[in-house]
Amino acid sequence: MNNELMFSSKTDVWSTPIDFFNALDKLFNFRLDVCALPENAKCEIYFTPEVDGLKQDWTGQGNVWMNPPYGREISKWIEKAYLSSKQGATVVCLIPARTDTRYWHDYCVKGEIYFVRGRLKFGNAESCAPFPSAVVCFRPKIADAFTTNQPTLFDDD
């Protein structure tokens, strides 16, 4: 593997470490990988760049795994994950812990956040990533069942 390419801005693909994924999969039992290539898909059902996961429905597929491209488009993926959770999906995201970004403050803080200790070694890399990582989980909240789009369930009298 070309580590010079992997640790530069020339790539935004960071293949999930399999042991890391397996630990989360035991908890969530993922069914859909929304950001995958055939050679690094973590689930039987996955969306490739050609299918464009941002244009697909993520609800009703079971729990969703997302390790998005880490480039400038990452904010669109985070937004989609958050909005999909508002429609009933559970989306677990492995992302750089970039707490100074707009998308972090607009979306990530609304999910469950786990900061990964140390630096992950992605794919077949010889070295660890040059950035810290976080797992952000977006899932429906109890309050989502009682939004203004729901029929009136109670009498206020």
Name beta bridge partners: 64.
Answer: 32, 91
Counting residues of the chain whose pLDDT is more than 70, the rounded percentage is: 85
pLDDT by residue (tens digit) across 56-78?
A: 999 998 999 999 998 889 999 99
State residue 147's pLDDT score.
72
Q: Is residue 76 within 8 Å of residue 54, measured between CB atoms?
A: yes
Domain extent at residue 95:
3-146
Asked if the structure places residue 12 within a domain, the reply is: yes
> How many domains is the chain partitioned into structurally?
1
Q: How far is CA 92 from CA 40, 53, 81, 101, 152, in A?
A: 17, 15, 8, 19, 32
pLDDT band with cut points at 50, 70 and 90 for residue 2: very low
Asked if the structure places residue 126 within a domain, the reply is: yes
Asked if the structure places residue 66 within a domain, the reply is: yes
Asked if the structure places residue 152 within a domain, the reply is: no
State residue 11's pLDDT score.
52
Asked if the structure places residue 153 within a domain, the reply is: no
Q: Where is average pLDDT lowest: 3-7, 102-106, 123-127?
A: 3-7
* Residue 5 pLDDT greater than 50, yes or no: no
pLDDT band with cut points at 50, 70 and 90 for residue 8: very low
Asked if the structure places residue 154 within a domain, the reply is: no
Q: What is the CA radius of gyration of the chain?
A: 17
pLDDT band with cut points at 50, 70 and 90 for residue 3: very low
Query: Which CATH number belongs to the domain containing residue 101 in this structure?
Result: 3.40.50
* Residue 112 pLDDT greater than 90, yes or no: yes
pLDDT by residue (tens digit) across 118-145?
A: 999 887 777 888 889 999 999 998 887 8
| pTM across the whole model | 0.84
Asked if the structure places residue 140 within a domain, the reply is: yes
Asked if the structure places residue 155 within a domain, the reply is: no
